[in-house]
Amino acid sequence: MPDSSPFVSIEGVSFAYPTLTGALGRQILSGVELTVRRGQLVALMGGSGSGKTTVLRLLGGQVRPQAGTVRVDGRNVHEQDRKGLYELRRRMGMLFQFGALFTDMSVFDNVAFPLREHTSLPESAIRDLVLMKLDAVGLRGAHALMPSEISGGMSRRVALARAIALDPALVMYDEPFAGLDPISLGITAQLIRRLNDALGAASIIVTHDVHESLAIVDYVYFLAEGRIVAHGTPDEIRASEAPYVRQFIGGSPDGPVRFHYPAPDYAADLGLGR
Ligand SMILES: Nc1ncnc2c1ncn2[C@@H]1O[C@H](COP(=O)(O)OP(=O)(O)O)[C@@H](O)[C@H]1O
Ligand SMILES: [Mg+2]
């Protein structure tokens, strides 16, 4: 019977990065709520600097919220001891923003890396697993190549294979489409959907690529000014009248998300008075 309780739950989370003086900086997140169930592929969208990567860092336990709770598989990420956090992280797969391959390692060794780091499997088992993961992304035949010998789109697929090498229960993709041509982008999107379904994982895809994401995800959250300003299924989002959503989908420069960074009055700034 499928378990319908959320695999990931973020409740009332507020966060600011500490500054060099030890004081807290600008508020990045204020009362964020988000859940992801097993088997669900969820998009977290928002403009650059809206805090999307920060949400993933909170889930990985790299940073700690000042308020609220972050749970993964029922466990509070920020109440884990070292061992507990290590075990949780081992079950998380991550495709990092701008995540590149290790350029001095073959495609095979890139995918084998997490298996060698986190397991004591014999090399024959590692070989089978690596070839299986590469096959899942259509690149088994490229296992002996070096990253410099494959295209950007192929590199991204190798990075996907590496992210899922340990069969993670939670997979986080940070801007997986960045810098890809339209064809590679479509292939990567379909692949993320297929990998999610094959793993039965809870997946979060952080992106500002609205149209490609709406085609593959089950649910969408919009982050702006530290809050979830809209959420819904792709159909609900497409039909949404919410100004943030309209601005995001339409790509219009003005709307609730300002084009201008807050600035003093222009004339005053130029010393012209009024
Ligand atoms: N390590 C850090 N220390 C201080 N500020 C940071 C750090 N990382 C990110 N920020 C700031 O936090 C905000 C949100 O960043 P981020 O989560 O990376 O946004 P996004 O992924 O949506 O582009 C940005 O204003 C960024 O400058
Ligand atoms: Mg980011």
Chain segment 176-219, per-residue pLDDT in tens: 998 898 899 999 999 999 999 999 999 999 998 888 899 999 99
Q: 108-117: long-range contacts at Cβ-Cβ below 8 A with a sequence spacing of 24 or more?
A: 108/134, 108/143, 108/144, 110/147, 110/158, 110/159, 110/162, 111/158, 111/161, 111/162, 111/165, 112/165, 113/162, 113/165, 114/162, 114/165, 114/166, 115/165, 115/166
- Examine residue 8 and state whether it is found in any structural domain, yes or no: yes
Domain presence at residue 78? yes
Asked whether residue 156 is assigned to any structural domain, the reply reads: no
Q: Would you state the pLDDT for residue 107?
A: 96
Query: Which protein residue has the closest C-alpha to ligand 1 atom 27?
Result: 49
Domain at 70, CATH number: 3.40.50.300
Distance CA 34, CA 49 (A): 18
In-domain check, residue 265? no
Q: How many domains does the chain have?
A: 1
Report every protein residue that has its C-beta within 5 angstroms of ion ligand 2.
53, 97
Tell me, using a 6 A CB cutoff, whether residue 207 lines ligand 1.
Answer: no
Give domain status of residue 145, yes or no: no
What ligand is nearest to the CA atom of residue 58?
1
φ, ψ dihedrals at 52, nearest 5°: -65, -50
pLDDT of residue 5: 77
Instruction: Judge contact between 211 and 181, C-beta under 8 A.
Output: no
Predicted local confidence at residue 243, as pLDDT: 84
Cα 28 to averaged position of ligand 1 atoms, centre (Å) = 8
Residue 110 CB–ligand 1 contact under 6 Å: no
Q: Evaluate whether residue 73 is within a structural domain.
A: yes
Looking at the CA of residue 48, tell me the nearest atom of ligand 1. Answer: 23
* Residue 262: per-residue pLDDT: 63
Q: Which residues of the chain have pLDDT under 70?
A: 1-4, 99, 251-262, 272-274
* Domain assignment of residue 206, given as a range: 1-85+170-176+202-259
